[in-house]
Amino acid sequence: MPIYPRPAWALCALLAGCTLGPDQPPGSTVPLPVSGLDMHAEQGLDQWWQLYRDPELNAAVQEALSQNRDLRMAAANLLQARALLRETDTLRQPATQVTARAGYGSTADDQLEAALQDSERIRTGSRYGVGLDVQWEADLFGRLHGLADAARADAEAARAAEDGLRVVVAAETTRAWLQACSYGQRLQVAGESLALVEQGRALSAQLYQAGAAVTLDVVRAEGLVGQVQASLPPLQAGRQRALAELAVLLGRPPGDAPAVAKACHQAPRLGSPMPQSDALAMLRRRPDVSQAERRLAAATARIGVARADLYPRVSLGAGVYTSAHQPSGFDERDASVWQLGPLLSWSLPNLNAARARIAQADARESAALADFDRSILAALKEQQQALSDYQAALQRQDALHLAAERDHQALHLAGLARAAGASSALDYLDAQRSAVRTRAAAAQADAAVIDTQVLVFKALGGGWRSAPPIVLPPPKRAAANLFLRTSDEPVP
């Protein structure tokens, strides 16, 4: 509904800071869950990576939270938003302006003398002047108040964005570290499996030479060796990829991952049960939800700013000016003037543009509300999906480890039966192939559990509280300018 100027603005003129916009942003249309946990049930989520009880991992996460380049960019954006807030706050303070001028020309005491060109009364020569102006805008309709509220909400949204990036960096650093260890473990399993199948191939060759095996047994043994060998390069590439990801997250070059991570062949496990968290507590903790809510608050505040343009702006000002024909004449009494009074500014002929800006502000608030609802739904979805995937990964891990144990027993029994002549080499190779596959699958299931654990912690929004400060070194201008030079410019 359009907003039109009304006589009520006269009453607002009596009240400094009368606002025309909504007092608070609209609430979410998403039904929120009811909290069922106390605060003690969520202990451990703030620094959840410490639950793995790995000091080297803890040190890596702390380094990432202080040295990560994405976090540095977010910290710089936060500084910019806070500086803009300080600038907006100064709009409610008196503004001063000092002027000084000097020139050469003609002057007269009044316009009539100048029009008649009375040479006796027209003075030609140098003219000097200085002045001081002080002006303060009376925020009668809340325009400056709305600008300050919007800037404050923007700064809080930038802080929430930084906190959200802390959650991502902590989760991805932990994930990259655990993946590097997991790939090392899978490579170790693959190496042991390769040694096992190579022994089976050598045994098949010996039996073939002795006439106790056929060509099919030898060929199948060689094929099994080739299968295990083919699994090594992808595992090696995955490990290098995880190490490069870890190094970049730490703010280092891709090849400069920590030596402990490079030598890790056993992923750490959770030393205590995963902390519990209900949906409402998760929503309160997730920085992306807070960021969307602060953006909504900023959009609501700007509605009041747009509505204030329908009404006049009133400023109180004062000024002192003095001029003289000579620099030594400023002390003359008739050379100084002063003024004091209000300044009324009202874009009356352009009210349609103001109403259009109000419609834009209303639409931006509706979009911000939709984004707020979307962030809530996305957070609830991510939590439910992460917990479901984690439970499924645990069940698959248990089943595969049980299968690997059974296949290992079957391989042992097949070896005894073959040594006693109760079974053929083909039966032993089949048992060997099954044992190798299930052991590799069990190691892969361990890696999947690690990934889903990290995704659960990430979905719960932990990792941004009690974080170390982000290091923002001063920029090196000379080094940065090297990338801005053209090919024709010499490099010193």
Quick one: 87 and 99 in the same domain?
Answer: no
Closest to 141 measured CA to CA, from 301, 299, 314:
314
What whole-number distance in Å separates Cα of residue 72 and Cα of residue 162? Answer: 9
| One domain, residues 201 and 333 | no
Same-domain status, 258 and 402: yes
Does residue 489 fall inside a structural domain?
A: no
- In a shared domain, residues 212 and 201: yes
* Domain region containing 105: 95-110+121-138+313-345
Are 259 and 125 members of one domain? no
One domain for residues 296 and 267 = yes
Whether residue 289 is found in the same domain as residue 399: yes
Of 108, 133, 129, residue with least CA distance to 119: 108
- Rounded Cα gap, residues 396 and 398, in angstroms: 5
Write out pLDDT tens, residues 249-264: 999 999 999 999 999 9
- Shared domain for 337 and 393, answered yes or no, is no
**Reduced to 3 states, what is the DSSP secondary structure of residue 346?**
coil
Distance CA 65, CA 71 (A): 7
Q: What is the pLDDT of residues 193-225, one digit of tens each?
A: 999 899 888 888 888 888 777 888 888 889 989
pTM exceeds cut of 0.85: no
Both 340 and 360 in a single domain? no
Phi, psi of 309 (to 5 degrees): -70, -10
Buried-exposed string 196-205: b where 16+ CB fall within 10 A, e elsewhere: bbbebbebbe
| Average pLDDT rounded to a whole number, residues 229-255 | 95
* Crossing angle between the packed helical segments 351-419 and 287-308, to the nearest 10 degrees: 170
Digit-coded pLDDT (tens) for 29-67? 888 766 555 444 455 578 899 999 999 999 999 999 999
pLDDT at 58: 94
Give domain status of residue 46, yes or no: no
Helices (H), 210-334: 215-230, 232-249, 259-262, 279-285, 287-308
Q: Is the dihedral of CA 152, 157, 162, 163 positive or negative?
A: positive
Asked if residue 21 belongs to a domain, the reply is no
Q: What is the CATH number of the domain that holds 335?
A: 2.20.200.10
Average pLDDT over residues 442-463: 92
How much is the pLDDT for 3? 42
Domain harbouring 421, CATH code: 1.20.1600.10
391 C-beta neighbours (distance < 10 Å), count: 12
170-179 pLDDT, tens digit each: 999 999 999 9
The pLDDT of residue 12 is 42
Domain-embedded: residue 487: no
Q: Is 413 or 340 the better-scoring residue by pLDDT? A: 413
Look at residue 263 and tell me if it is in a domain: yes
Greater confidence (461 vs 277) lies with: 461
DSSP state, 460? T
Collect contacts of 267-270 with beta carbons under 8 A, ≥24 apart: 267/178, 267/181, 267/182, 267/185, 267/446, 267/447, 267/450, 268/52, 268/53, 268/54, 268/57, 268/178, 268/181, 269/52, 270/51, 270/52, 270/453
Same domain, 60 and 206: yes
Q: Which residues neighbour 81 within 8 Å (Cβ) at sequence distance 6 or greater?
A: 151, 154, 155, 157, 158, 159
Regarding whether 171 and 152 lie in a shared domain, the answer is: yes
Domain contains 322: yes
Let me know if residue 221 belongs to a domain: yes
The domain total for the chain is: 2
Q: Are residues 182 and 324 in the same domain?
A: no
Backbone angles phi, psi at 444, to 5 degrees: -65, -35
pLDDT tens, position by position, 395-416: 999 999 999 999 999 999 988 8
Domain annotation covers residue 42: no
- The span from the CA of 106 to the CA of 431, in Å, is 112
